[in-house]
Amino acid sequence: MKKQIVYNNLAKFVLLKIKAYSLSELMRRPIITFLPILFLVAMTFCSNPPKDKTGKKSKVSEETEIAPIDTAAYNLQLITLANGDTTGNWPVKNQPYPLAGALLPGHRIVAYYGNLYSKRMGILGELPPKEMWAKLHKEVKAWETADPKTPVIPALHYIAVVAQGDAGKDGKYRSRMHEKQIDSVLTIARMHENTLVFLDIQVALSRIQDELPLLEKYLKLPYVHLGIDPEFSMKTGAKPGTRIGTYDAAEINYCSQYLAKLVQDNNLPPKVMVVHRFTQGMITNYKNIKLHPEVQIVIDMDGWGEPELKKGTHRNYIFREPVQFTGFKLFYKNDLKKSPNRMLTPEELLKLKPQPIYIQYQ
């Protein structure tokens, strides 16, 4: 029994190590490097195969114990997302393989964004839940039709920390949503199975280090993920909304490392972290952003306007500075303000290089 426990622990340790390597790193290593893994896995499952309560082998146990992702399929999905890019930007090189249970790039996430206190901050707070869900399901169906090979997961992207014009008691120009409000969003999400929730942070004159830990109890839930918005990170002390804010790679790394530790400590599937962007200055030192097997980073094209303007923003700030995955935001109202007074369609967005794997509607 003790010997079996040793084999189990060693096998888990070695597999976690190998999953952290990128494809290029694996290809450079000689095959003899991985012989200990084959031995340990064989000893683990041949000497004492997992069993259920009836004494029979348990397929669930086998998959739970060691279920690394299909790296060949993962690489192919990344190439598909790159959509024929020949610049060398995409797919992003030397990124680690994610832990088992990763959502991207095997799924596309289609999210509704907003706040329950305001009808002006996004579609999530503009409509009653049943009407909102009916509209969201139509968008999900449109994406499934446009790209039938990629399953779509619906999501609610809720602004849990809101930048505001009032300084508040502490002078930070942000309002933290009460837990009852966040709980309400979780309840709305549970109206339909397999719905994700993103909690978005607009720090204003606060710091991400002071705001993110306050949401930890929610981020420990396997279906809750994170969004951070550089637009409202006001390093100069200006009021939010008077100029565009910024996040440095160091702050993005703080968030991803925080999430990675939550995943490790609580045995969670990888987290998705959405970072909004529509200007050059919103993210600085992007080459220093670190990737983790426990976290999947999406840089979301967050600008509004006519189709050609939005595609130009994607080309200038998302395509040229690759991090890992990309997203795209569509505005039901602001995208219609100028000619041709229409939103981009799923079919048009799938022509982008790379294709966005996270779609947000506001």
Whether residues 356 and 294 fall in one domain: yes
Same domain, 154 and 49: no
Q: In terms of domains, do 251 and 189 share one?
A: yes
As a whole number of angstroms, the distance between CA 156 and CA 114 comes to 8
Query: What is d(CA 1, CA 126) in angstroms, rounded to the nearest whole number?
Result: 59
**How far, in Å, CA of 273 to CA of 156, rounded?**
14
My answer on whether 10 and 79 are in the same domain is: no
The predicted pLDDT at position 41 comes to 40
Among 51, 68, 85, which residue terminates a domain? 68
pTM: 0.82
Tokens of 245: 């804010």
* Backbone phi, psi, residue 117, to 5°: -85, -15
What is the full per-residue pLDDT of the chain (362 aa) written as tens digits? 433 433 444 444 444 444 444 444 443 444 444 444 444 444 443 444 434 333 433 333 333 343 578 999 999 999 999 999 999 999 999 999 999 999 999 999 999 999 999 898 999 999 999 999 999 999 999 999 999 999 999 999 999 999 999 999 999 999 999 999 999 999 999 999 999 999 999 999 999 999 999 999 999 999 999 999 999 999 999 999 999 999 999 999 999 999 999 999 999 999 999 999 999 999 999 999 999 999 999 999 999 999 999 999 999 999 999 999 999 999 999 999 999 999 999 999 999 999 999 999 99
33 in the same domain as 159: no
Same domain? For 325 and 355 the reply is yes
Quick one: pLDDT at residue 10? Answer: 40
- Cross-strand pairs, 198: 157, 225
Mean pLDDT for the chain overall: 87
Rg value, the chain, Cα: 22
**The pLDDT value given to residue 3:** 39
The pLDDT value given to residue 68: 76
Rounded Cα gap, residues 309 and 303, in angstroms: 9
Residues 35 and 78 in one domain: no
Q: Looking at residue 189, what is its pLDDT? A: 98
Q: How many domains does the chain have?
A: 2
Q: Is 43 exposed, middle or buried (0-12, 13-18, 19+ CB in 10 A)?
A: middle
> If you ran DSSP here, which 8-state letter would residue 317 be given?
I
Q: Identify whether residues 46 and 148 lie together within a single domain.
A: no
34: its two tokens: 């991985």
Q: Please, what's the b/e burial string for 109-145 (b: 16 or more CB within 10 A of its CB; e: otherwise)?
A: bbbbbbbbeeeebbbbbbbebeebbebbeebbebbbe
Of the candidates 202, 310, 226, the residue with the CA atom closest to the CA atom of residue 274: 226
**What is the residue-wise DSSP string for 84-120?**
T--SS-SSPTTPPPPPTT--TTTSEEEEEEEBTTBSS
CATH code for position 274: 3.20.20
Looking at the fold, whether 292 and 248 belong to one and the same domain comes out as yes
The answer to whether residues 36 and 94 belong to one domain is no
Residues 6+ apart with CB under 8 A from 55: none
Shared-domain flag, residues 9 and 85? no
Which of 42, 68, 94 delimits the end of a domain?
68
Could you give the CA distance from residue 292 to residue 148 in angstroms, rounded to a whole number?
Answer: 29
Alpha helices in the chain (DSSP H): 2-19, 23-28, 35-47, 59-65, 71-82, 123-126, 129-146, 179-189, 208-211, 216-219, 249-266, 307-313, 346-349
**Residue entry with tokens 């097997």:** 293
Gap between the Cα atoms of 174 and 117, Å rounded: 14
Domain span at residue 24 reads 2-68
pLDDT of residue 316: 96
The encoded tokens of residue 124 equal: 């999530």
Handedness of CA 48, 52, 54, 56 (dihedral sign): negative
Residue 105 has a CB neighbour count (10 Å cut-off) of 23
Q: Are residues 154 and 106 in the same domain?
A: yes
222-255: burial string, b at 16+ Cβ within 10 Å, e else: ebbbbbbbbbbbbeeeeebeeebbbbbbebbbbb
Integer Cα distance of 240 and 172 in angstroms: 10
Residue 51 is given by DSSP the state B
Token pair for 36? 């200990």
- Residue 293 C-beta-side C-alpha neighbours within 13 Å: 21
Question: Which among 50, 68, 86 is the end of a domain?
Answer: 68
